[in-house]
Amino acid sequence: MNPVVDEELHYQEPGAGAGPLLWGPGFALVGYLVELWVTPQQHAMAWLVVGVVLLLCSAVWVGARRRFMSVRVSSSLLSQGSETLALERVVEICDEDAPLGTRVLGGGFTAPRKYGEVALRLDDGSRVVAWARDPEQLRTALRQASET
């Protein structure tokens, strides 16, 4: 994703928040507390290692989602995952669904699961599919950005 300086931001989805980073250490803490309550032996160091390992796993997951699932619409660019499209190339924001097999922005074969699709017609006559959790809000943001 390319950061754009001094451009109005019309829409943004980060891909993932920081909340999942707390899941692993939280599970490890609950495991340690249950162990304290149930057994006379405590394995604090083992639970600490488990918490750190789960934190690292979730950090990789959050980082990947932020890199590949983020959506950003500025005044001149649409960024979807690892792909950036200049909005001057967008000729039409279609209200109907794109035909099956249309290229999906961001490098995937299909739009991510639980994401809605927005069909776009480009200046070379081709169609592409943009995607967002809220496709209507993305469609509105694209129309606002193209008007400016």
Determine the Cα–Cα distance for residues 25 and 28; give it in Å rounded to an integer: 5
Q: Note the pLDDT tens digit of each residue in 112-144.
A: 889 999 999 999 989 999 999 999 999 999 998
Q: What is the pLDDT of residue 5?
A: 52
CA distances from 48 to 34, 45, 58, 69 (A): 14, 5, 15, 31
> What are φ and ψ of residue 51, in 5° steps?
-60, -40
Q: pLDDT tens, 3-52?
A: 545 578 889 999 899 999 999 999 999 999 999 999 888 899 999 999 99
Q: What pLDDT, on a 0 to 100 scale, did the predictor assign at position 6?
A: 53
**Tens digits of residue pLDDT in 49-92:** 999 999 999 999 999 999 999 999 998 999 998 899 999 999 99
> What was the pLDDT predicted at 89?
93
Report the alpha-carbon angle 77-108-81, nearest 5.
35
Spacing of C-alpha 137 from chain mean position: 15
User: What confidence tier does 101 reach under pLDDT thresholds 50, 70, 90?
Assistant: confident
Q: How far is CA 61 from the centre of its chain?
A: 11
CB burial of residue 128 (10 Å; 0-12, 13-18, 19+): buried
User: Given this model, what pLDDT does residue 1 score?
Assistant: 44
Residue for token pair 């934190």: 55
